[in-house]
Structure 1
Amino acid sequence: MARPRYTPGDDAAHLAAMGHSQELKRNFSTLSMLGLAFAILNSWTALSASLSLALPSGGPTSVIWGFITAGICDLCLAASLAEFLSAYPTAGGQYHWVAVIAWEAWVPILSWTTGWINVSGWIALTATGGLLGSQLIKGIIAFMNPGYDAQRWHQFLIYVAHTLVAFFINAFGTRLLPLVTKAAFIWSICGFTLISITALACASPEYQSGEFVYRAFINETGWPDGIAWLLGLLQGALALTAFDAVAVSQPAS
């Protein structure tokens, strides 16, 4: 039996069946959406920029096994969100899905709480992106200029500029977003490849042993080992967060 061919009108009809009308122009291609998800998630950049979280909080075991642990947990969350998204493809995302499945009497408070938790997470993630970006830029400046005297307000100004650029692109340059996400995807993949090759080549042949990489535990936090390892999980969790970005961008894709 031939599979029904998908048409853009299918999504509009689906939204209409749920009581919504399509208001956003769908200008994201599959590659653009992949670039959006990859640019926001960007696991390798988040991992490298947040190494300072895991190295003193478990060391190599937190980096390796913490990432695997966070990955397994996040895969479960992603599968659950994907199930909801396939049935209810709306920009409301989690707060709308809660309204669909919750008890009727509890819908207002549960949806309101879920929505604000989600918004708070996105605000924190936006701040984190600006912080990590400003740290990387300041690090590049210091690397290229050995005599550079870094000041805290330098990073703050870079952070503000980074955030403002992102705001203006998202608020007033929505037509450019598909191009931006494609460029971010290609830039990130190329950067990952080049940096990985360079790092391995420069480290050769002085590699750490497998015993150190997979079993060494370092705790410089002052907390008990168990708590230190949990703190180290923050790196893996940060690298695998915000995969619901595609869900809330669904009406534009």
Structure 2
Amino acid sequence: MSGASSPGGLGGGTALKRMSTGNKREDLPKNLSMVSIMGLSFAIMAVPCGLSTTLSLSLTNGESVTVIWGWVLVSLISMGIAASLAEICAVYPTAGGVYYWSAMLSTPKYRPIASWITGWLTLVGNWTVTLSIAFSTGQLFLSGVSIFQEDFVANTWQTVLMFWGVMAVCTGVNVFFSKHLNLLNTICMIWTAAAVIIIMVVLLATARHRNTAEYVFAHYDPTASGYPSGWSFFVGLLQAAYTLTGYGMVASLCEEVQNPEKEVPKAMVLSVFMAGLTGVAYLVPLLFVLPEVKAILSVANGQPIGMIFTTVTGSKAGGMGLLIFVLVVALFAGTGALTAASRCTFAFARDGAIPGSRYWSQYNYKLNVPLNGLLLSSAICCLLGLIYFGSTAAFQSFVGVATICLSTSYGFPILVNILNRRVAVKNSSFSLGKFGYAINIATVTWIILSVVLFCMPVSIPVTAAGMNYASVVFMGFAGISVLWYAVRGRKTFNGPEEVVIDGESRSVDEEVGREKSRQ
């Protein structure tokens, strides 16, 4: 649920089967359905929220063509990535997700380092996508004040405090309403669809000015970016790529789903397909009624959607009413993203890959929540928000590092699968068949390109305030990962040692043996 990230449902109801202590796998309650997982993935992507909060990025880099056709292009690429991951997930449906898949697909010699790299990329990606969703939600709330007080410009303290408030709400929902997250994920999916329809109808019905179809589908103006024309289009793809990142996060909930080898892969791919259609339904009407782009880009807090709604409807109340729909989607997304982040933290800590793993891998049976992992994820997000005091472009950096980390974590097991000639997935229940190589290679190529693109500043010339610090944040976490591996990981970490599949705890070597016998 957006209410994710990797949003999702915490188990309620059923008591956990208590296994031995230490870092042993917990047999988690299986009370999530395919619809709930799809809702969680859909919620994490939070299309209206993601597209609204990053609209300035694509408008700066090409305007309409980048907005609409960039979305279509990235939606198709994301379908390929989701399908590639779903094919692997159908063979290895575990809470470890991509980091476990990297271990299973690698040879014993490279298993530890492959799973370590992928695990840290996934972990940082989960944390930073939660951070970016919550931060933009705080900015959206403050933009609502600007609707009624046009001279209001939130200062850095107000922005950070509002962000912390959003994080507190998302954390509270995960802690105290874990039994209802299944229901909330479903509600999120319904709310998001309804919000898009209502916003679309109201904007088209009230707009006094409408742009031409040529403007919506063919207008391209990259001059605001300062980049060469073609390169500007690709830099502007960050809007779509950021929005379409959360689908892989739901793999961390595999152990809470009945028949995860069938249900989770379907949920991943269907959620991306639904998100792609939802984005088109949201963006096309928005572009038809879009006010002057210069006015949009001049909004002080970088979140112009409230101003757009108000200008188009001609009413402050109308603008605020439409903004509320987006705000609720954003809260769902933040909650869901934090759910997924807490599960990812819990899963990685069980293998001793995080400093203080014994503490972060504990599970609270009373609340049915990995409480310590949840609180760690929330605390890290809150601390990273302090970067905003040093750079007003912090949000762009959060968006960039989240997209880079999640994309590369998705790409790593796909790349290993290609190098191993796709032997491990030849009997997958979600097989890509004869198109497998082509889809896998295309997605890995895109991911490599995206790492370069999303470290770029939105526009040039570059100032200290407008710099994209995604690479700095990324390298900071990379440094922590390398240091911890040198201090402890290389001595004690052998990759994921156990996994629960079909309620049975198995070692990785046992599962590899089973796969070889099947092949």
Inter-partner Cα distance in structure 2 for 1:166 and 1:147: 30
**CA RMSD, aligned part only?**
1.9
Written as runs of structure 1 = structure 2, the 5 A alignment for 1:116-195 is 116-146=120-150, 148=152, 150-195=154-199
Inter-partner Cα distance in structure 2 for 1:149 and 1:128: 20
Say which is worse superposed, 211-220 or 68-77, in terms of deviation. Answer: 211-220
Match of 1:96 in 2: 100
Verify the 8 A CA contact 1:44 1:239 in the aligned structure 2: no
Secondary structure at 1:104's aligned position in 2? coil
Inter-partner Cα distance in structure 2 for 1:89 and 1:74: 20
Deviation at 1:21, TM superposition (A): 6.3
Inter-partner Cα distance in structure 2 for 1:185 and 1:85: 23
Match of 1:217 in 2: 220
**CA deviations over 1:140-195 (Å, ceiling 9, x no partner):** 22224456453332221110011122123324532121132223222222211111
Match of 1:38 in 2: 42
Q: 1:84 aligned to 84, 88, 104, which one? A: 88
Is 1:208 the counterpart of 2:211? The answer is: yes
Deviation at 1:89, TM superposition (A): 0.7
Verify the 8 A CA contact 2:126 2:249 in the aligned structure 1: no
Match of 1:61 in 2: 65
Partner AA of 2:30 in structure 1 = R
Deviation at 1:134, TM superposition (A): 0.9
**CA deviations over 1:16-49 (Å, ceiling 9, x no partner):** xxxx966111222333222211111122321122
Higher helix share: 1
Match of 2:236 in 1: 232
Inter-partner Cα distance in structure 2 for 1:210 and 1:176: 44
Verify the 8 A CA contact 1:22 1:251 in the aligned structure 2: no
Secondary structure at 2:37's aligned position in 1? helix
Aligned length in residues:
233
Inter-partner Cα distance in structure 2 for 1:187 and 1:143: 23
Inter-partner Cα distance in structure 2 for 1:53 and 1:181: 29
TM-score by length of 2: 0.43
Inter-partner Cα distance in structure 2 for 1:25 and 1:211: 53
Say which is worse superposed, 218-227 or 172-181, in terms of deviation. Answer: 172-181
Inter-partner Cα distance in structure 1 for 2:256 and 2:107: 30
Match of 1:199 in 2: 203
**CA deviations over 1:185-225 (Å, ceiling 9, x no partner):** 22222211111111111225x32222222222122012222
Q: Which runs of 5+ in 1 are unaligned?
A: 1-19
Verify the 8 A CA contact 2:95 2:253 in the aligned structure 1: yes
Secondary structure at 1:26's aligned position in 2? coil
Inter-partner Cα distance in structure 1 for 2:151 and 2:210: 31
Verify the 8 A CA contact 1:60 1:212 in the aligned structure 2: yes
Structure 1 residues 227 and 100, CA, compared in 2 at 3 Å: closer, same or farther?
A: same
Partner AA of 2:60 in structure 1 = P
Give the percent of matched residue pairs that are identical in Structure 1 and Structure 2: 32
Partner AA of 1:42 in structure 2 = A
Inter-partner Cα distance in structure 1 for 2:49 and 2:153: 25
